[in-house]
Structure 1
Amino acid sequence: MSTASETPVLDTLAAMTIDSMERCGLAPDMLMVARMAALAASDAPPISYAAHIELAIETGMTAEQLQDVLVAIAPIVGTARVMTAAGNISAALGIAIAVADAEMEDEG
């Protein structure tokens, strides 16, 4: 199978995300709460959080709300998953900052 894209995996994930968002009846902010909780519960790596950071910010999610999500799910998913999620979110923010810096350098 041949694709015209240089990033077929990322393109597929983006298409799945868009389809999911279009079919979901949740408000955008509630959708991001659910997605962040699911990422933490599934022990997602930093890159998975990085893929959602921009959208979370666009929907108005704050760092405090993200912390509240982790507090809310801690009794269900456990301390280890929540601590791992917090570290992975920090790493994802570092990725997002590095990408933004690189984009600014390219523009300037």
Structure 2
Amino acid sequence: MAQKETGAAGVAALAEADAPVFETLVQMTLDTFERSGLDQETYLLARIAALVAMDASAPSYLLNIGTAAEAGVPLEKVQGTLVAIAPVVGSARVVSAARAIGEAFGIDISTEGE
């Protein structure tokens, strides 16, 4: 039986040994954008909203907000998206997203008293 690697070592092994996984993710993203019929800004903001709803990890935000920034989406529109979805997904998800976004970009957003 093969030994399983866990944690960061497992992710690194997957990245090195199985590049088709990541290539598939990139291709899925490209295909989805083309099929969505949305302009690039709307598409990226919708993806960010979905990440918040799913309580995504910091790397997901890094990838998607980084792509949005490269595409010229203003930070104010990302913030506006978070405000717009807060009543639907709840404040806890938005706070969790803000922390993950801060972590992704190396910004300490912790509050006093925590």
| Pairwise same-fold verdict (TM > 0.5) | yes
Give unmatched runs, 5+ long, in structure 1: 95-108
Once the two structures are superposed, the pairs formed by residues 33-72 of structure 1 within 5 Å of their partners are 33-72=45-84
Moved more, 40-49 or 54-63: 54-63
- Structure 1 outlier segments of 4+, above 6 Å: none
Taking every aligned residue pair, what percent have the same amino acid on both sides?
48
- Structure with bigger RCO (C-alpha 8 Å, 6+ apart): 1
Aligned position for 2:99: 87
Report the count of equivalent residues: 90
- 1:31-86 per-residue CA deviation (whole Å, 9 max, x = no partner) reads 11111101101111111112213320122222221111111000000011000011
Q: Which amino acid aligns with 2:42?
A: M
1:23 equivalent among 23, 35, 42 = 35
State whether residues 82 and 94 of structure 2, in contact with CA within 8 Å, keep that contact through their aligned partners in structure 1: yes
Give unmatched runs, 5+ long, in structure 2: 1-16, 107-114
Superposition TM-score, scaled by structure 1 size: 0.75
Question: What do you get for the CA RMSD once the two structures are aligned?
Answer: 1.5
Aligned position for 1:103: none
- Bigger-Rg structure (1/2): 2
Q: Which amino acid aligns with 2:88?
A: I
Q: Hey, which of these two has a bigger chunk of helix by percent?
A: 1
